[in-house]
Structure 1
Amino acid sequence: MTDSSHKSPEVENDGDFRVHVFSSSSELLEKLHEKWSSVEKQPYPAMYSSIYGGIILDPAMMVIPIDDHMVHRGHGVFDTAIVLDGYLYELDVHLDRFLRSASKAKISSPFSRSSLRSILIQLTAVSKCKSGTLRFWLSAGPGDFLLSSTGCPTSAFYAVVIHHDFSQCKEGVKVITSKIPMKAPLFATVKNVNYLPNVLSVMEAEEKGAFSSVWVDEAGYIAEGPNVNVAFITQDKELVMPSFENILLGCTAKRLLELAPKLVDEGLLKGVATKSLTMAQGKDAAEMMYVGSTLPLLPIIEWDDQPIGNARVGELTMLLSDLLWDDMVAGPDTQRIPVPYV
C-alpha cells in the first residue's frame, strides 16, 4: 500500500480516487463513532427500530435499511408528538392520525395500537429527554427495490426522540405564496414521507428572504403551509381556518379550534369557523398565523411583501398562542401523558 492510499478523497484526478473498502463491521462502527465523537450534545438520545426489535442508544447504530421501501419508494407515513416538561403532549391524537394515514397508504402495523403507544412512552422514558420531539414512522418495510411492497416480509416501525428547547413564538415572520404545485388531496390528507413539494416550497421562500410559504389551490382558495396550517383573524374578529377537505387536518389546529371558543365567551372573538378563503380575503385579514405542533403558533406579519393588518404581531394572535401554550404546559390529563423516566 502506497502513501497515496491515505490521501484525502479530494484529489486532482478522478483516476487517482480510490474508494475505501471496510474490511469488517467493527472497522465501520469505529468510523461511525468518529462522526459522533466530536458532537458536544447528542441530539438523538434514543431510537426504536422494529428491525432490531428494541431501543438503540448508540447514535452510530440509528440507521434503517437501504432497501426499506420508505427510503427508495417513499412508501411510508409518519407523525410527531411533543415532549414538554416531561410530558407527552397529544400523543393519542397524533397516534390516531398516524394509523389513519397508514391505512390510507395500505401499510399494516406490525403492532397493535396499544403496543405502539407503549413503545413510544418507553422510548421517551429511556431517552431521559424532558423537552423535544417524538417522531415515528411506519414503512412498508425492507425487502427489495421494486415498486410493489409484496416482497417485503413485514412492515417496519421506527421512532426517535430529538432534543429541542421550546418557547413561545412572539416575533412575526414574512411568507410568500408558493409557486410549487401543492399535493393532490389524496396525498395532502395523508401524513406521508413524500415531502419534496414541501421542501421545495420552503427553499423557494428562503431564497426570497421569507420564513416560509403558503399554498393556494387552483380555485384560488388558501390551503396550508408546507408543514403547518394557517389561520386568520378577520377584520370582524372572527378566527377562520381554511376548510380541511383537501389538506391535512393538523392536530394543533384541531386543538386550537377547541380552545378558541374561550375567547368568544370572553367577548374577545366574535366567532370560530373553518371555511374557504380567497387569497385576497387572507391578505385583508387583521391578523395571520401558522399553526403547528412544534410552534405551536407563529405570527405572520407580511405576505408577498404586503403587510398583514398593521404589520405587527396581533393581540388576538398572542391570546390564542397563550391558550395553546398553557394547554401544552398545564393542560388536562387527556392531552398530557406523564413520562415514567427511568
Structure 2
Amino acid sequence: MALPGQPTLPPTLQTSSPSSSSPSFSSPPAFSPLPSLSPLNGSSKYSSKQNNVLGFAEGHEKWPTELCIPVYSTSEVIEKMRGKLPNKSVEEHPYRAMYSSLIGGIILDPTLMVIPIDDHMVHRGHGVFDTALLMNGCLYDMDSHLDRFLKSASAAKISPPYPRETIKEILLFLAVASKLKTGSIRYWLSSGPGDFLVSPPRNSTPTFYSVAIAKEFSRILEGVKVITTTIPTKPPKFATIKTVNYLPNVLSKMEAEEKGAYSSIWVDDQGYVAEGPNCNIAFVSKERELLLPRPDKILFGCTSKRLLILANKLIGNGILKSVRTRDISVEEAKGSAEMMFVSSLIPIMPVVDWDGKPIGDGNIGEVTRAISDLFWEDIISGTQMLKTKVTY
C-alpha cells in the first residue's frame, strides 16, 4: 500500500540502525543557564561546582549542591532510553509496533516510538484518538470507531493526512507488523508539530500515529466500587469529542483510587448521571428496563451503541422489558437493581457499590451477566459484518 507522499510499506518490514554520528560540544550550548562554565576534563558535562561564586547572578544564593548535566550524543540517548524500558526483548514488550505519518512507516523498536516535543497534541492537547479491539486476528467494530474518530477530528478542526480507507489500511498493516492476534490498536490524530504557540502553524501538516499493544482480555466476574467525583463534568461541546485532553478524566479516576474505589461517576449540573472517566454507564431498573444516559451530553461509546442493539435479544426472552436512553437522576440510578460500566476493551464491568452503598443486593445481577455473555459471543463468534479480518 503506497501512502500519499510517502514510501511504499514493503511486505517484509525492516528497521534501520540510527546514525552513530553525533555533534560534539567544546563549550556549553548558547542557552545554557551557566554560560561561563567549561566542560570537565574534556567530557561533555557541565558542573555547577566550578565557578560556584557565580551564584547565577550577583545577589542570588550559591548553588547548594553540585549540578552535573551530561550532553548526550544520538547513540547515547538511544542507549539511555532503551535502558528505561522493562528488561524485556522487543518481542516481549507490550508495544509491538508503531506507525508514524512523520516517517511514513512502521517502527518495531519501542525505544524509537516517539513523537516530537513540539507536536501540538503534546503541549496543547490538540488531538483526538480512538481504539480498536483485536481479538483472534480480527478488529472488532472497526468501522464504528473510525467513524467516531473522523467525527472527533472534524470537531477539533484537524484534517487527516490520509483518506478514511488509507487510515484503515494502515491499521491493518500495523496489526500484521505487530504479529499480534489479540490486543488493541490505539490511534491518534494531531494538528502536528511546528512550534509552541497555541494554534497550529499555518503550514503544519496533521500527524497520524498508531500503536499495536499486546493485551489479553477476559470477562470481569467481580463487581467494583465507584464514587461520585467532585471533578466538574465537561460541557457537552467537549464531552462529545474524543480528545487527548484527559486531565478531568485522570483527576476523576485518581480521586476514586485515593478513596479506595475502582472508578468514579460524573453527575452533571442538573443532577443527572453522565459517564465515567473512560466508560459509559448502564442501569437495570427494578422493572427490568435497561437505561443509559442521553447520548447528546456525553461521549456515547461505540460499545454502548452496540449494547442498544444486542439488548433487544433479552427483550425477546423476557429477561428485559425495554431499552431506553434518557435523563437518569442520581437517586433513581442509586436505586436501580443493577449497574454496569460499558467500554470498548472491557465491554461490561459490573458495579456493585456506589458511594459506600450497595447497588441492588450488592451482587452481580442476572441481566448484567446476560449482557456480558451477549458481548463476548458477539466479539468471538458473532456477525462477520463487525469483524475486519487481519491477513497475516
Q: TM-score, normalised by structure 1?
A: 0.95
Match of 1:46 in 2: 97
**How big is the alpha-carbon RMSD for the aligned residues of Structure 1 and Structure 2?**
1.5
1:109 counterpart letter in structure 2: P
Match of 2:331 in 1: 280
* Cα pair 1:144 1:151 within 8 Å, conserved: no
User: For residues 67 and 138 of structure 2, what CA distance do their matches in structure 1 show?
Assistant: 51
Residue 61 of structure 1: which of 86, 105, 112 is its match? 112
User: For residues 37 and 83 of structure 1, what CA distance do their matches in structure 2 show?
Assistant: 24
For structure 2, the 5+ residue unaligned runs are 1-39, 46-62
Residue 173 of structure 1: which of 224, 231, 249 is its match? 224
* Partner SS, residue 114 of structure 1: helix
Residue 17 of structure 1: which of 67, 90, 93 is its match? 67
What is the Cα deviation at residue 329 of structure 1? 0.7
Identity of aligned residues (%): 54
Residues 9-41 of structure 1 deviation map (CA, whole Å, 9 limit, x = unaligned)? xxxx7531211101x212222222223371362
2:309 aligned with 1:243 = no
Residue 268 of structure 2: which of 210, 217, 222 is its match? 217
What is the Cα deviation at residue 152 of structure 1? 4.9
Residue 156 of structure 2: which of 84, 105, 109 is its match? 105
1:324 counterpart letter in structure 2: F
User: For residues 292 and 210 of structure 1, what CA distance do their matches in structure 2 show?
Assistant: 18
2:379 aligned with 1:323 = no
1:158 counterpart letter in structure 2: Y
1:39 counterpart letter in structure 2: K
2:229 counterpart letter in structure 1: S
User: For residues 313 and 153 of structure 1, what CA distance do their matches in structure 2 show?
Assistant: 51
Relative distance call for 1:311 and 1:127 in structure 2 (3 A) is same
User: For residues 216 and 86 of structure 2, what CA distance do their matches in structure 1 show?
Assistant: 22
Comparing 142-151 with 279-288, greater Cα deviation is found at 142-151
Match of 1:36 in 2: 85
2:70 counterpart letter in structure 1: H
* Partner SS, residue 45 of structure 1: strand
* Cα pair 1:140 1:154 within 8 Å, conserved: yes
Query: Counterparts in 2 of 1:80-91, with a 5 A limit?
Result: 80-91=131-142
1:221 counterpart letter in structure 2: Y
Match of 1:153 in 2: 204
User: For residues 151 and 103 of structure 1, what CA distance do their matches in structure 2 show?
Assistant: 17
What is the Cα deviation at residue 302 of structure 1? 0.5
* Cα pair 1:214 1:223 within 8 Å, conserved: yes
Match of 2:170 in 1: 119
Residues 275-324 of structure 1 deviation map (CA, whole Å, 9 limit, x = unaligned)? 11000000000000000001110000000011000000001101001111
Match of 2:361 in 1: 310
Residues 163-212 of structure 1 deviation map (CA, whole Å, 9 limit, x = unaligned)? 11100011000000011011111110000011000000000000110000
User: For residues 151 and 60 of structure 1, what CA distance do their matches in structure 2 show?
Assistant: 31
2:82 counterpart letter in structure 1: H
Comparing 24-33 with 142-151, greater Cα deviation is found at 24-33
What is the Cα deviation at residue 132 of structure 1? 1.0
Match of 1:182 in 2: 233
User: For residues 182 and 319 of structure 1, what CA distance do their matches in structure 2 show?
Assistant: 31
What is the Cα deviation at residue 43 of structure 1? 0.7
Comparing 322-331 with 283-292, greater Cα deviation is found at 322-331
Match of 2:320 in 1: 269
User: For residues 278 and 153 of structure 1, what CA distance do their matches in structure 2 show?
Assistant: 45
2:62 aligned with 1:27 = no
For structure 1, the 5+ residue unaligned runs are 7-12
User: For residues 33 and 273 of structure 1, what CA distance do their matches in structure 2 show?
Assistant: 51
* Cα pair 1:84 1:131 within 8 Å, conserved: yes
* Partner SS, residue 70 of structure 2: coil
Match of 1:196 in 2: 247
**Structure index of larger Rg:** 2
User: For residues 123 and 311 of structure 2, what CA distance do their matches in structure 1 show?
Assistant: 42
Query: Counterparts in 2 of 1:135-150, with a 5 A limit?
Result: 135-150=186-201
Match of 2:277 in 1: 226
Larger RCO, structures 1/2 (Cα 8 Å, 6+ apart): 1
2:79 counterpart letter in structure 1: E
- Total equivalences in the alignment: 333
Relative distance call for 1:248 and 1:37 in structure 2 (3 A) is closer
What is the Cα deviation at residue 53 of structure 1? 0.9
Match of 1:9 in 2: none
